Amino acid sequence: MECAHGDICTVDTYDKSLNFLLLSLSFGQGRQFRNPILDTYSPDPAVLRFNGSYFMSLSSGNDRTITVLRSPILTDFRNADREVVFDAGSVGLKGLWAPEIHEVEGNIYIYFCLDDGDEAQHRIYVIKADDPNNPLGSYGAPIRMVPHLEDFAIDATVMKHGNGRMYLLWAGIKTGTSILISPLIDPVTVESSYVILRSPTAEWEQIGTPTVEGPFCFYNNSMTYLAFSVGSTWGPDYSMGLMSIPSNKDPMVPSNWWYGINGPIFSRNDDEGVYTTGHATFALSPDGTETWMIYHATNTTEDVINHRNARLEKIDWDESGPVFPRPHGYNSSMALLLSPCNLQSIWISNSVITPGCFNKTCKVAALSPEVRNRSFLLVSSAFTYVQALWIALNVIEWALAVVFSQCFQSPQWLVRSSHSMSSLFRPVYGISAKSKNMKSKNSENPELLSNSQTLMIENGLMRPSSTSGSFTLLPVTMKSMKKLVDIIDQVLSQYSCQKIQMPTITAAGLWKTSGRLDECGKEIMTVTDRHSKKLILSPTHEEAMCEILGDYPWSYRNLPMRLYQITSKFRDEMKPRFGLLRTREFIMKDLYSFDVDENAALETYEAINEAYKRIFDLIGVEYLKVEGTTGMIGGSLSHEYHLLANIGEDKLVTCNACNFAFNVEILNAVESSQEDSKSHDCPKCKSTNTKKHLGIEVGHTFLLGTKYTKSFKNVYLNAEGKSELMRMGCYGIGVTRLLAGVIEVLCVDNQIRWPAALAPYQIAIIPPKSGSKEEPIGKPLAEDLVRYSDVLFPNDVILDDRTELTIGKRLMDLKKLGIPYAIVFGKGVTESIPLIEVLNVNTGDLQKISATQSSQECPFVEELLQYLIDVAVMSFKTPLEVHQEITDYVIEREFHPQFYIVIVIAAWIDEVSAEVQTEVVPVCSVFQHLVHITYR
């Protein structure tokens, strides 16, 4: 048998299964990612590779704090762990720029600059981590660097030169902003001597303002390379230059340096819309073979100072040194971090696979025939089709066989799945789809039916209560809702939003204070307690949130604040209709922001709208963002997010001339009451070339200004110690309405269709019908598959154990539920080479697979494979939340996400049998980290 690189590989037994494993190991090469690696405002990004993770330091909090982020992969910091490690306000300073994280002499340091409110007074400071192994932990007090020079000083970096000495480089004002260098006595102390290495004397260094700044050193082939930035930081022509020096030369002698070409080595790319390219740091791939540049850039030429975010480019090398690419725009894909095939050994118990570069002899311990046959039959069935599962089962069966072949004939300790169709609480009863309305119990008002309402009731996703406009959500809906809430939580956490829980009941007096008690009228649902006090079942919580802030002495250092909750809300609808689309009780995500002024509030408003885009993109359903009215909420700016559907109650218009989209409610009362047949002119460009739509509103954002904070006297102390009103924003997503909305717009032929991100289960395993000739073979295989699936894909695979029904009837039911994929153990299992059917329930595509077939032959393998990897690795969570008991083990050894599966298996075996010592040695040199595995 030949290995992947052409050499002969001998295997004592179990050869086909191991061959599947080795072929699977190459999966993931050729995957791609796109810039940026951090969507939010992230100027001057500095990255350090340390203890198997990548750490990024950024200025935050309106240049008042330092945030450190940790990610297992360099290509994506969106869902990274993050901690604020320093607040300039603690020492009475501000203007915190360009924090740069370094590992020096076994400790973690962050170099940065501060001022006292006057930018010309910027000076360099450094802080040291209290725990040298924890860059996200606490840090000591800041130490002033270069105290003997009372000059403007920014952008400090450490140079570890080949002569064994360390140097501090920074930018200071000498002849323009120049780069200076001074020897370091220790990581926090510099010698008094310094020299100017480079001043902005060339024309290309004087665009905007004569500036050379942002130095950073990287190393290769006995050379030290110094990258720097030139031009105006606030201009689109900000670019980069390069210097270098041999490692055996004294860097304090300027003539020892090669000063590079007379021009930038990295600059704006108008073809792909990339501007302000600069302030870079450099990091190596996990195996040390690749150099990657982390820098900031914008996709606009306007107000670039406020639109910079972190990007990534791969640096190639030739005989003359580094080769810089042109910067890639948002729509250009780049290859992931890849490395030469250099597998290290994978140890499990006392057996070992040592494939090296697939050119060494591979040996596996001989297995008993019983274990081998059972394992091979299972491995060569359904999971041959799905490559991620394919890897998993090969490794599982192999590991189980090796570890337990002498101890067990059957691993009875495996836990049976708790997810089965027979145990699922799902009361089903019919509603005529032809019915125009349905009367709720004890209600004289009919509720108009929608497709989503009909399908959710008929298929046991919810049940109507005796109160009109109120529904009980059943387990299937709750599973999908949890996935939606997880997406919302994950995205908002990346935008510094904190989750809270407020009471549903609020005092009517709060609404009277804001003036909304009379404005909202009968739409507010009220109750009166035994003390005759009027209370409100809140539809929103603006007043309650302002009450929480109260008269606490907030400082400008505490802002911005972004707080949200996901709770039940109430509205006294006159005519509840369309199920969850228009109810009296609903679940909503409501977020409230507080900022120092209108500009900061607008920045938050744009950031949350960016987060909304990310949330809806992750859900995977088409939506339309339009400008809307502020309505009963109030404020100066409002945007709505709609799903387009025929039953939508909002009239929307898109302009084909300028792409402006709006709700007709923003027009004046006369125009908004025009007949539907008459088109609406665009209020922005006055064009008549417009198109009308009907939409289901599922999200809304408001810029409120001081509408509420003025009423509740929510103030903060500014830098001068004077009181100012906070500026507020509020942002809602209708969680239950969104669930019903996606069903409404995606359903077909009276069948529910879910976007992949929200499907309650992704896979149903269907064993043979009870009493059939396939049952003796198919049932054990299906049960084994369920056991393993529970370990690899918890909560996302369900066993349809209603074996009294035919496979066909069970498939019809799955179609109605919208479960995307089914693995069917039907007639094919009785073949000499068992065949198992993998069905795409949504499209009807059916693939019969066997051990001899490659997953590449399956027409929809990529779609299913990607989702399965998502579920196995992330489940819309960060890596640190997946299999928490072994995460540190995984991160420390820099495993490619596919090998989370291997680690799960190893830890699982180790946990079950304390006598089995399981160790997995790193294989990161070939399996580099995938990017956008959750948020693509």
Catalytic residues: 44, 213
CA angle 439, 443, 449 (to 5 degrees): 30
Sign of CA dihedral 800, 804, 807, 812: negative
Distances, alpha carbon 751 to alpha carbons 421, 455, 663, 812, in Å: 18, 7, 31, 9
Report the C-alpha gap between 738 and 665 in whole angstroms. 22
Residue 359: DSSP 8-state: T
Intra-chain end-to-end CA distance of the chain, in Å: 38
User: In 521-581, which ranges are E strands?
Assistant: 525-528, 534-537, 554-555, 561-570
Host H or E run for residue 619: helix 598-619
- To which residue do tokens 């890897």 refer? 391
Show the tokens assigned to 487.
Answer: 């997406």
| 648 touches 695 (CB < 8 A) | yes
Q: Which of 816, 813, 796 is nearest to 756 (CA)?
A: 796
Q: Do residues 9 and 361 lie in contact, with contact meaning Cβ atoms separated by under 8 Å?
A: yes
Q: Identify the helix (H) or strand (E) that includes residue 514.
A: helix 508-514
Half-sphere exposure of 73 (CA within 13 A, CB side): 25
Tokens of 543: 């007043």
The two tokens of residue 753 are 């269709």
The C-alpha atoms of residue 593 and residue 561 are separated, in whole angstroms, by 5
Q: Evaluate whether 590 touches 700 at the Cβ level (below 8 Å).
A: no
Q: Which of 741, 645, 640, 652 is nearest to 699 (CA)?
A: 640
| Token representation of residue 295 | 């820098």
Q: Which helix (H) or strand (E) holds 916?
A: none
What is the DSSP pairing of strand 763-766 with strand 821-824? parallel
Peptide bond just before 560 cis, omega within 30 deg: yes
| CA–CA gap between residue 299 and residue 236 (Å, rounded) | 9
Cβ(282)–Cβ(227) below 8 Å: yes
CA distance 714 to 308: 31
Give the containing element (helix H, strand E) for 102. Answer: strand 94-104
Quote the tokens at residue 209: 């303002």
- The CA angle 275-278-284, to the nearest 5 degrees, is 120
> At residue 671, what are phi and psi to the nearest 5 degrees?
-70, -35
Q: Write the secondary structure of 200-249 as one string of H (helix), E (strand) and C (coil).
A: CCCHHHCCCCCEEEEEEEEEECCEEEEEEEECCCCCCCCEEEEEEEECCC
Beta-bridge mates of residue 564: 499, 591
Three-class SS of 371-436: HHHHHHHHHCCHHHHCHHHHHHHHHHHHHHHHHHCCCCCCCCCCCCCCCECCCCCCCCCCCCCCCC
Round to whole Å and give the CA distance between 762 and 782.
Answer: 16
Give the separation between CA 130 and CA 107, rounded to whole angstroms: 9
- Say how far apart CA 664 and CA 915 lie, in whole Å: 70
Exposure string (b/e) for 878-911, b if CB count within 10 Å is 16 or more? Answer: bbbebbeebbeebbebbbbbbbbbbbbbbbbbbe
